[in-house]
A = this chain, B = another copy of it.
Amino acid sequence: MVQVQIIESKDFSYNRNVETGNQEQMNAVLHIINEVKTHGDQAVKAFTKQFDRVDIEELLVSEEEIQAAYAKVSQEYIQTIREARDNIRRYHEKQKQSSWFTTEENGTVLGQKVTPLDRVGVYVPGGTAAYPSSVLMNVIPAQIAGVREIVMCTPPGKDGIPPIILVAAKECGVTHIYRIGGAQAVAALAYGTESIPKVDKITGPGNIYVAIAKKMVFGMVDIDMIAGPSEILVACDESADASYAAADMLSQAEHDVLAAAYCVTLSRQKAEEIHRELEIQLAQLNRNEIAKQSIENQARIIIAPNRAEMVRVINEIAPEHLEMMVEEPFSYLGEIRHAGAIFLGRYSSEPVGDYFAGPNHVLPTSGTARFSSPLSVDDFIKKSSVIYYSKQAMIEHGRKIAGFANEEGLDAHAKAVAIRIEKEGL
Docked-complex contact A339 and B373, CB < 8 angstroms: no
- Chain B residue numbers with a CB within 8 Å of A201 are 371
- Chain B residue numbers with a CB within 8 Å of A385 are 340-342, 353, 359-360, 363, 374
Can you show 5 pairs from A to B with CB atoms below 8 A apart? Answer: A117-B371, A201-B371, A254-B410, A333-B386, A351-B410
Those 4 A-B pairs whose CB atoms lie nearest each other, nearest first:
A359-B385, A222-B371, A254-B412, A373-B383
Let me know if A131 is at the binding interface, CB within 8 A.
yes
Docked-complex contact B115 and A94, CB < 8 angstroms: no
Docked-complex contact B387 and A352, CB < 8 angstroms: yes
Q: Which of A51-59, A105-113, A305-313 contacts B (4 or more CB under 8 A)?
A: A105-113
Q: Looking at the assembled complex, report how far the CB atom of A349 sits from the nearest CB atom of chain B, in whole angstroms.
A: 5
Compute how far the CA of A99 lies from the CA of B221 in the bound complex, rounded to whole angstroms: 29
Q: Which of A36-44, A181-189, A398-406 contacts B (4 or more CB under 8 A)?
A: A398-406
Contact bitstring A202-231, B, C-beta under 8 A = 1, else 0: 000000000000010001111000100000
Docked-complex contact A244 and B382, CB < 8 angstroms: no
Interface of A is mostly: mixed
Docked-complex contact B388 and A344, CB < 8 angstroms: yes
Let me know if A357 is at the binding interface, CB within 8 A.
yes
User: Would you list which residues of chain A between 274 and 294 have a CB under 8 Å from chain B?
Assistant: 281, 284-287, 291
Let me know if A347 is at the binding interface, CB within 8 A.
yes
Q: Looking at the assembled complex, report how far the CB atom of A366 sits from the nearest CB atom of chain B, in whole angstroms.
A: 8
Compute how far the CA of A201 lies from the CA of B359 in the bound complex, rounded to whole angstroms: 25
Compute how far the CA of A391 lies from the CA of B95 in the bound complex, rounded to whole angstroms: 27
Contact bitstring A79-119, B, C-beta under 8 A = 1, else 0: 01101100000010011010010100000111011010110
Question: Which has the most chain B C-beta neighbours within 10 Å: A132, A248, A413?
Answer: A413
Q: Which of A3-11, A150-158, A296-304, A415-423 contacts B (4 or more CB under 8 A)?
A: A415-423
Contact bitstring A340-381, B, C-beta under 8 A = 1, else 0: 111111111111111111111001100011111110101000
Docked-complex contact B77 and A416, CB < 8 angstroms: no
Docked-complex contact A250 and B412, CB < 8 angstroms: yes
Q: A345-B388, A350-B416 are in contact. List 15 more A-B contacts (CB 8 A).
A: A20-B219, A77-B404, A94-B112, A117-B371, A164-B407, A222-B368, A338-B384, A342-B384, A347-B393, A348-B388, A352-B394, A353-B385, A359-B386, A364-B382, A372-B382
Q: Looking at the assembled complex, report how far the CB atom of A384 sits from the nearest CB atom of chain B, in whole angstroms.
A: 5
Docked-complex contact A358 and B110, CB < 8 angstroms: yes
**Given known contacts A371-B221, A404-B80, A404-B84, A413 and B359 CB-to-CB distance under 8 angstroms:** no
Compute how far the CA of A330 lies from the CA of B113 in the bound complex, rounded to whole angstroms: 12
Identical chains bound together, number: 2
- Chain B residue numbers with a CB within 8 Å of A77 are 403-404, 407
Q: Looking at the assembled complex, report how far the CB atom of A338 sits from the nearest CB atom of chain B, in whole angstroms.
A: 8
Let me know if A243 is at the binding interface, CB within 8 A.
yes
Docked-complex contact B18 and A219, CB < 8 angstroms: yes
Docked-complex contact B369 and A373, CB < 8 angstroms: no
Let me know if A267 is at the binding interface, CB within 8 A.
no
Docked-complex contact B411 and A355, CB < 8 angstroms: no
- Chain B residue numbers with a CB within 8 Å of A197 are none
Let me know if A397 is at the binding interface, CB within 8 A.
yes
- Chain B residue numbers with a CB within 8 Å of A221 are 371
Compute how far the CA of A359 lies from the CA of B387 in the bound complex, rounded to whole angstroms: 8
- Chain B residue numbers with a CB within 8 Å of A281 are 412, 415, 419
Let me know if A76 is at the binding interface, CB within 8 A.
yes
